[in-house]
Structures are given as C-alpha cells and as structure tokens.
Structure 1
Amino acid sequence: MSSPPRADRPAGLRERKKAKTRQAIQEHALRLFTEQGYDATTVEQIAEAAEVSPSTFFRYFPTKEDVVMRDDYDPMIAAAYLRQPASLGPLAAMRAAMGEVFTEVFEADERTIRRRIELIWSIPALRARQVEGQLATMAALASMLAERTGRSADDLRVRAAAGAVIGAWIAAMERWVVSGRDVSLPALMDEVLAFLEEGMPL
C-alpha cells in the first residue's frame, strides 16, 4: 500500500509561490523606484511590471511604502538567537545570531538590501516608517534578551540593550551605504556588535 501524500506539500508549495510573487513585486518596485523615482512610480506600474493585479499587490503590501520597508529578518534573527548555546551571554548570542542571518541574506540579496536602505534614507516618508519599524524590532529584541536573561521585557536595562543594538545596526548600515562596495554589511554588523559586547570602550 502506498503512503498517503504528505499534508505539508500543498501548503509548502503555496508558501513558495507566495514568496516568489512577493519577491517579484518587490524587485520590480525597487527597479522602478531607481529608474523613475519613488514618488513618480505608481502601484499600478509596479503591478503591471510584476504581472499581477493592483489588488494582488495590496494583498502582499498594504501600501507603496511597505514594498520597500517589509522584510522577513526579525523572525529569522529570533530563530537564530534561540539556537545559540546557553554558554553565550545575551550580547554574544545576539552577535552570533546576527552573523548567521545577515551573512546568509547578504549573499542572496545584497543588491536588494542596498536599494532598500538607500531609498529609506532618501525618502522622508520612508524614514518615518523606518522609525516605526525600528521600535517594533527593538521590542522584539527586548523580548529575546529578556528570555535569555530571565528579566522582564519591560526592564529598562533590557530595553536599553535592545536600543543599543538597533543604534549599532544604524551606524553599520550608514557606513556601508556611504562606503560603496569596499566593505561588507555583515562585517560591519559584527564589528559594531563586538564593540557593544566589549562594553563600548572609547
């Protein structure tokens, strides 16, 4: 008697197709933003380039801003953080998790990452959304640090540590964008997180 089909196969295929569509929409959007400007590019133009309907665009990205802002890094970082050995301190575990995630995504998506960061820093509306995103990421990092240290996620020191990590990321991304392609973003991320881990000696 043959084995029944695995129940996860259709769902897995659907998720891969959704991820492929989401990636295509984002890639075409970033290309159009680069070619003709963010403000001059419409959702209808993005949808046409990606060969989807405007309603499909909005199923994946609620606004035009979201097509630049959205990524899946936070859950990837959380999963990598949970895999780190208990022998590592909270910042050392964060540094290891970041190294794992950003090395992987940078190798696959360097061009997309650079386009997104450059757009975010050049468009006021996107910079404002970035602040919202950073606050959400800080909350997620605080939860991870709290779990590892046995403290509350609302503990001021936990929140400050999460905020310091966010600040270090911003410094690394700024240096990467202005330095051209002579340095890798994962290397800069590791450098600034090592600086935090060492107690920020100046």
Structure 2
Amino acid sequence: MSDRQSTLRAHRRAETQRAIQAHAIRLFVEHGYDATTVADVAEAAGVSPMTVYRHFPTKEDLVLVDQHGRLVAGRIAASSAAQPLVRRIGRALVDSAATLTGGGHEDESTTGRRFLLARLQLMISTPALRARHLDNQYALQQAIVDALGDDAADPDAAFRARATASACLAALHTALVSWAEDDGRSELPDLIAKALAAAFGDDMIERPPDLPRA
C-alpha cells in the first residue's frame, strides 16, 4: 500500500470515527446514555454495529475516546525543556483546550464547544462514565510523562513528572467540572489557567494573553 493510500485510509477511518461519535453523543443527550444502545448508534450513523465496535470497543468509549492526550503530548514535546514542568504541562493543557473548543474559528468553535460540553456533562451525570473517566486521567498522565522524553528518563525525574502531571490534571478536572456545570458559558482555556494559577500561583503559569490576573 502506498503512502498516499495509507493516508487516505487513515483519513476515512478518522472521519467515520468522528461521525459515529457525533451521532452517539447526540443520541445519549436526547434519549439518555442507558436508554441508547450501540445498535441505535449504528443505525443513526448508517453503519453496522460491528463497525461501531471496531472504532469503539465498548459503549463507554463512544463518550470517552478523544484526541486530548495526543494534543497535550504534542505540545509538551514541542515545548522548551528550560521551562518549569508546571509551566510546560499547564500551557499544553490550556492550548489543547483552545484547540478542542474551536481554536478561535467561529463555526468550529461552536461545534467543538458543544461537542466537548455534551461529552463532559455525560461523564459527570453517568456513573459508569465517571468510573471510566479515571482511566482516561491515568492514560493522560502517562502520555504527559512519555512526551517529556529524556526529561523524565530516570526514576527520580519520572516520579517528579508524574507528581506534577497529576497535580496539573487535578486542576484541569476542577476547571472541566466548573465549565460543564456552568453549561459552557465561560471560556474553558481561561478556566483551566485560573485553576492552575490557584494551585501553583500566577508566577508559575503562563496565562493566555487576554486573561487578567486574579
């Protein structure tokens, strides 16, 4: 298979996955998570249940699977190792949230915000999803440590990286819950920056340009 064919195949797979997930979130919001089956999602998406399971091995994955870990890891890997860990991780979390909520483009912003908000509200309100969400946090923590590469290579450095990542993710969780409970009225990147500043202090956090200090 040529590189072009491989790229096109990966693109089609990603498009199919996004379409299935979008239909799933819509149905979960409209009819309830427990009342909606994988077969319902497959029918709405125009695919077979087997296709749904190829992209999302469990029903919970229809809500929980996202690109957050990849985005955060990419930004951390591209950041300067001269910066404090808290700043590198915090900036990556803020920037990734900006991307997921639309990156400043009006149409994408509306779609991205609504989709992310619906997913978060489902996670908060559904016991099965709340339990699995903790697995996502562990996976994101590991993605952060892996992205630090040589800066977390030895046992002591890895311990510091995990501890810092865990603390940053606790601040992130506080911001996400607040944003979901506020029905998305606030700007999510700003809330994350505020939560990080509350935990670590203004001097440790590189805040978005338009966000005033507390």
Name the counterpart of 1:171.
174
**Which SS does the other structure have where 1:129 is aligned?**
helix
Which of 62, 78, 85 does residue 73 from structure 2 map onto?
A: 78
Unaligned runs of 5+ in 1: 1-5
Distance 2:141 2:99 in 1: 22
AA in 1 matched with 2:34:
D
Which is greater in Rg? Answer: 1
* Cα displacement string for residues 154-191 of structure 1 (whole angstroms, at most 9, x for unaligned residues): 85433221210111111001111122333111111122
Q: Deviations over 1:88-124 (max 9, x none)?
A: 2211111222232221111141111111111111111
The count of corresponding residues between Structure 1 and Structure 2 is 195
Larger RCO (CA under 8 A, 6+ residues apart): 2
Q: Compute the TM-score of the two structures, normalised by the length of structure 1.
A: 0.87
Distance in 1 between the 2:156 and 2:18 partners? 33
Give the TM-score normalised by structure 2: 0.82
Q: Percent sequence identity over matched residues?
A: 35
1:13 maps to 2:8: yes
Task: Indicate which of 85, 90, 93 corresponds to 2:88.
Answer: 93
Matched, 1:123 2:126: yes
Contact conserved, 1:146 with 1:153, CA < 8 A, in 2? no
Quote the residue 1:23 is aligned against.
18
Pair 1:140–1:54, CA change in 2 (3 A) = same
Q: Does residue 104 in structure 1 map to residue 99 in structure 2?
A: yes
Q: State the 1:86 CA deviation.
A: 3.0
**Residue 138 (structure 1) aligns with:** 141
Distance in 2 between the 1:43 and 1:53 partners?
10
- Which stretch shifts more, 79-88 or 136-145? 136-145
Matching of residue 159 in structure 1 with residue 162 in structure 2: yes
Task: Using the TM superposition, give the Cα deviation of residue 143 of structure 1 relative to its aligned residue in structure 2, in angstroms.
Answer: 3.5
Q: 2:187 aligns with which of 181, 184, 193?
A: 184
Distance 1:154 1:65, change over 3 A: farther
Cα distance in 2, alignment partners of residues 150 and 196 from structure 1: 26
Cα distance change of structure 1 residues 147 and 106 upon mapping to structure 2, 3 Å threshold? farther
Q: Residue 19 of structure 1: CA displacement?
A: 0.9
> What secondary structure is seen at the aligned counterpart in 2 of 1:137?
helix
Structure 2 unmatched runs, 5+: 103-107, 206-214
Distance in 2 separating the partners of 1:84 and 1:112: 28
Counterpart residue identity of residue 185, structure 1: L
Give the alignment's Cα RMSD to 1 decimal: 2.3
